[in-house]
A and B are shown apart, each in its own frame.
Chain A
């Protein structure tokens, strides 16, 4: 189709979808309504299980299987990226030239690195208490490592980043989640049952298996993001095609 024809088909489609969505919007419960039966039950159960952060309770206890699927998507996507951005047969690696970084930027980034790392770990560790959790903290912690790229250059980052280890870490995090879930089966009850002692509300060890699953996710996400960014950085900085530079 040429651009004009495409635009007509598109406008027809957009008009239909718009009519559908707007009609539905006016039939939805009004914004801010009091009708949240599932939500109310979830809050009730979260408190009964001594998990202060009800969202973490839903994520890692009541609907932990969703999170399992979500982490598998992350795992699959990272594996897919590793496969898709591999060094092809007609490509080779070049060593990037060292970068010149202004002194204040370097100092700032190097100071920030440990701060960001600690913040990331803090967000993971407090997942069942305050906003945050394995995913959010994992991403922040992984970002911390990449400050080295900003402070120095890619080669410096590569030196402290044993990629193989991170790939294994990604898989171990995923496996840890799966196996923690299987503990319920060994106890003779359903998969992903929260069978550990619940602790007291609002303490670090509260919530039974919630902190364990949370930690597994934190590990997987941090490793996965490092691997993911490594593949993109490799492509952007190091990998070239044969004959590209003669």
Chain B
């Protein structure tokens, strides 16, 4: 059964090859049906292995099983956390393929299968990155997922912002990937191994960490935090996610960014958590700093957006910050909570993007002000969007709320306040948009400042502007929200997530209580949802006045769209990372 594990990666790859080879000869529906079938098959395989194979599933590719503890091959090392993540990725890919079913932009001439083929390659890259236990192989799949994501972001070549966003995304992420590869090189030089576990063991055998281990840690983390869009590595994300085609946004914000957090956890746990790695307190305060920065900056920037997709993108920055904090606590309970939070967030964020996509395709605009009151007729979309906003704010019993509550419990009062505030502000921003766009509440705001990114002048992504919303586009956000809800109410899922987290995190010997609802958790969830609603009401009621200056302007101006700025910030972020990690070693 273990030998079936690589098929989770190979099936979508083969699907992509088939779609390209046959794309010239088959009609579009056939190509899309094939892609859906293969994504579903991959998800089924991942779930099957998750449920029925003894964990962890380990497969030495090419049958290069270790002799005397050493091997020359590549290992896939799938514990339940990894398989669960792969299943989540595959399910979301399936949702995205269904969402874009037939309605998404007409395919290039004679290339009917290219969009689904790219999505399948993306899926293979993400699954490969999650499942592999080999450091260089992780880099390869990291690059695969990157390369495909740049192409997908720029998919609508007629849109000026889309190609620019794709380019920025590509340059910054490639730089991060090369930094990561330098880190892989350093570790290989030190240990002469590439399998993550063997690297970790070799480091531990050598004794206390030195400058080389520190540098390797910082370089690897640079690559992963660029992907995770932690401030100040985050600048590419709003530029790319605001302009990428909606189905692609669902994947980028829903799972790809979170894989950066996953990778950070995986690399810390397997390589650097021993005595030869980086001391836990150091890792904790390093990740905590980046987490708090991202959460705060993401939430503030999210509140002040009027471009709806850009608003959602900044909320992803904020929530990734929260996930980083959950990881930084280095407590197994918090890890389980974060995992659950991540699952719920994937469903909610993808659903919100799906709703935003409906607005774009129906009205040809994605601007909060321009759409004021125009979408009153879309009642179901409105319901989904509002539910998504509440779930984002942490309203029980959504999975986001449970994950947040469990993480808060381990986090202490100050961080709990931050969790509540950040989820309330991001959820409130979404609710504000819902009240204005779907409800027509408040006065239509006057034209905004020139400095802002407005969402006007965007083109629909469908072949023509839609006159009615197709069932597939509406069903997908509905199903995703139900999924996020189930994540909060299924005790079986909670115990599964809990034991998966116990298994993945190092140093857990006794089974811990799985994530569960508690009275303070429910109260805090209700509180943040209420604050979110209050913020939205205040914002809608408050008379709009265009102020010439705002205290947040300096921060907003940093998001300049200038590649040079972003590269400079990435390097500065690496320096900050190095400085933080160094304080722990001295």
Which residues of A come within 8 Å of B, CB atoms?
1, 6, 9-10, 12-17, 19-21, 23-24, 26-29, 35-39, 41-42, 45, 58, 61-66, 68-70, 72-73, 75-77, 79-90, 164, 167-168, 170-172, 174-175, 178-179, 181-182, 184-185, 188-194
Chain A residues in 8 Å Cβ range of B114: 79, 82-83
Distance to closest chain B CB from A16 (angstroms): 3
Which residues of B come within 8 Å of A, CB atoms?
3-4, 6-7, 10, 13-14, 16-18, 20-21, 24, 59-64, 70, 72-74, 108-111, 114-115, 117-118, 121, 124-125, 128, 136-137, 140-141, 143-144, 147-148, 150-152, 154-155, 157-158, 163, 182, 186, 188-190, 192-194, 210-212, 214-216, 218-219, 557-558, 560, 562, 564-565, 567-576, 578-579
Can you list 8 A-B contacts (CB < 8 A)?
A1-B560, A10-B571, A20-B219, A66-B136, A86-B111, A168-B20, A191-B10, A191-B61
Chain B residues in 8 Å Cβ range of A190: 3, 6, 59-64
Chain B residues in 8 Å Cβ range of A185: 3-4, 7
Neighbour of B6 across the interface among A19, A65, A188, CB < 8 A? A65
> In the assembly, what is the distance between CA of A222 and CA of B452, in Å?
47
CB closest residue in chain B, given A167: B20
B121 & A72 in contact (Cβ 8 Å cutoff): yes
> In the assembly, what is the distance between CA of A49 and CA of B20, in Å?
35
Given A28-B190, A35-B192: A84 and B137 interface contact (C-beta under 8 Å): no
> In the assembly, what is the distance between CA of A26 and CA of B189, in Å?
12
A73 & B143 in contact (Cβ 8 Å cutoff): yes
Given A16-B578, A76-B121: A83 and B147 interface contact (C-beta under 8 Å): no
Neighbour of B73 across the interface among A19, A63, A87, A182, CB < 8 A? A63
> In the assembly, what is the distance between CA of A1 and CA of B110, in Å?
44
Distance to closest chain A CB from B210 (angstroms): 5
Distance to closest chain B CB from A198 (angstroms): 14
Neighbour of A29 across the interface among B3, B16, B115, B190, CB < 8 A? B190
> In the assembly, what is the distance between CA of A93 and CA of B572, in Å?
45
> In the assembly, what is the distance between CA of A188 and CA of B148, in Å?
33
Distance to closest chain A CB from B3 (angstroms): 5
B568 & A6 in contact (Cβ 8 Å cutoff): yes
Question: 6 tightest A-B contacts by CB?
Answer: A16-B575, A13-B571, A80-B151, A24-B215, A69-B140, A171-B21
Not counting A36-B192, A68-B13, A75-B121, a sample of 12 additional A-B residue pairs whose C-beta atoms are within 8 angstroms of each other reads A1-B562, A9-B565, A37-B193, A38-B193, A63-B137, A72-B13, A80-B150, A88-B158, A174-B13, A175-B21, A188-B3, A193-B63
Chain B residues in 8 Å Cβ range of A70: 140
Distance to closest chain A CB from B450 (angstroms): 18
B560 & A69 in contact (Cβ 8 Å cutoff): no
Chain A residues in 8 Å Cβ range of B189: 28-29
Chain A residues in 8 Å Cβ range of B17: 75, 171-172, 174-175, 178
Neighbour of B62 across the interface among A20, A35, A42, A184, CB < 8 A? A184
> In the assembly, what is the distance between CA of A228 and CA of B108, in Å?
16
CB closest residue in chain A, given B59: A190
CB closest residue in chain A, given B122: A76
Q: Which of A26, A63, A188, A189: most chain B CB closer than 10 A?
A: A63
Chain A residues in 8 Å Cβ range of B144: 69, 72-73, 76
A13 & B574 in contact (Cβ 8 Å cutoff): yes
A84 & B16 in contact (Cβ 8 Å cutoff): no
Neighbour of B18 across the interface among A41, A85, A175, A194, CB < 8 A? A175
Chain A residues in 8 Å Cβ range of B63: 184, 189-190, 193
Chain A residues in 8 Å Cβ range of B148: 76, 80
Chain A residues in 8 Å Cβ range of B569: 9, 13
> In the assembly, what is the distance between CA of A122 and CA of B542, in Å?
75
Chain B residues in 8 Å Cβ range of A9: 565, 568-569, 571-572
> In the assembly, what is the distance between CA of A222 and CA of B128, in Å?
26
> In the assembly, what is the distance between CA of A77 and CA of B565, in Å?
26
Distance to closest chain A CB from B180 (angstroms): 13
- The A/B interface has a contact count, at CB < 8 Å, of 243
Neighbour of B565 across the interface among A1, A66, A90, CB < 8 A? A1
> In the assembly, what is the distance between CA of A81 and CA of B114, in Å?
11
> In the assembly, what is the distance between CA of A191 and CA of B64, in Å?
10
> In the assembly, what is the distance between CA of A101 and CA of B475, in Å?
61
Distance to closest chain B CB from A120 (angstroms): 23
A62 & B62 in contact (Cβ 8 Å cutoff): yes
Given A189-B3, A191-B10: A41 and B72 interface contact (C-beta under 8 Å): yes
Q: Which of B17, B74, B125, B212: most chain A CB closer than 10 A?
A: B17
CB closest residue in chain B, given A37: B192
B157 & A84 in contact (Cβ 8 Å cutoff): yes
Chain B residues in 8 Å Cβ range of A69: 128, 137, 140-141, 143-144
> In the assembly, what is the distance between CA of A107 and CA of B410, in Å?
77
Q: Which of A13, A61, A189: most chain B CB closer than 10 A?
A: A13
B158 & A19 in contact (Cβ 8 Å cutoff): no
B575 & A15 in contact (Cβ 8 Å cutoff): yes
A83 & B151 in contact (Cβ 8 Å cutoff): yes
Given A16-B571, A24-B211, A89-B158: A80 and B578 interface contact (C-beta under 8 Å): no
Distance to closest chain B CB from A48 (angstroms): 10
Chain A residues in 8 Å Cβ range of B214: 20, 23-24
Neighbour of B568 across the interface among A10, A179, A184, CB < 8 A? A10
Distance to closest chain A CB from B149 (angstroms): 10
Neighbour of B186 across the interface among A12, A17, A24, A63, CB < 8 A? A24
Distance to closest chain B CB from A152 (angstroms): 26
> In the assembly, what is the distance between CA of A179 and CA of B7, in Å?
11
> In the assembly, what is the distance between CA of A117 and CA of B154, in Å?
35
Chain A residues in 8 Å Cβ range of B152: 80
Distance to closest chain B CB from A192 (angstroms): 5
B10 & A182 in contact (Cβ 8 Å cutoff): yes
A84 & B10 in contact (Cβ 8 Å cutoff): no
A72 & B575 in contact (Cβ 8 Å cutoff): no
> In the assembly, what is the distance between CA of A87 and CA of B109, in Å?
9
Chain A residues in 8 Å Cβ range of B194: 38
> In the assembly, what is the distance between CA of A176 and CA of B66, in Å?
28
Neighbour of A84 across the interface among B59, B117, B154, B212, CB < 8 A? B154
Chain A residues in 8 Å Cβ range of B111: 82-83, 86
B155 & A83 in contact (Cβ 8 Å cutoff): yes
> In the assembly, what is the distance between CA of A17 and CA of B62, in Å?
38
> In the assembly, what is the distance between CA of A39 and CA of B193, in Å?
9
B568 & A13 in contact (Cβ 8 Å cutoff): yes
A88 & B157 in contact (Cβ 8 Å cutoff): yes
Distance to closest chain B CB from A38 (angstroms): 5
Chain A residues in 8 Å Cβ range of B211: 20, 23-24, 26-27
A66 & B155 in contact (Cβ 8 Å cutoff): no
Distance to closest chain B CB from A143 (angstroms): 23
Chain A residues in 8 Å Cβ range of B24: 164, 167-168
Q: Which of A26, A62, A68: most chain B CB closer than 10 A?
A: A68
Chain A residues in 8 Å Cβ range of B564: 6, 10
CB closest residue in chain A, given B142: A69
Chain B residues in 8 Å Cβ range of A79: 16, 20, 114, 117-118, 121, 151
> In the assembly, what is the distance between CA of A232 and CA of B184, in Å?
33
Chain B residues in 8 Å Cβ range of A16: 571-572, 574-576, 578-579
Chain B residues in 8 Å Cβ range of A13: 568-575
Neighbour of B13 across the interface among A17, A170, A178, CB < 8 A? A178
Distance to closest chain A CB from B233 (angstroms): 11
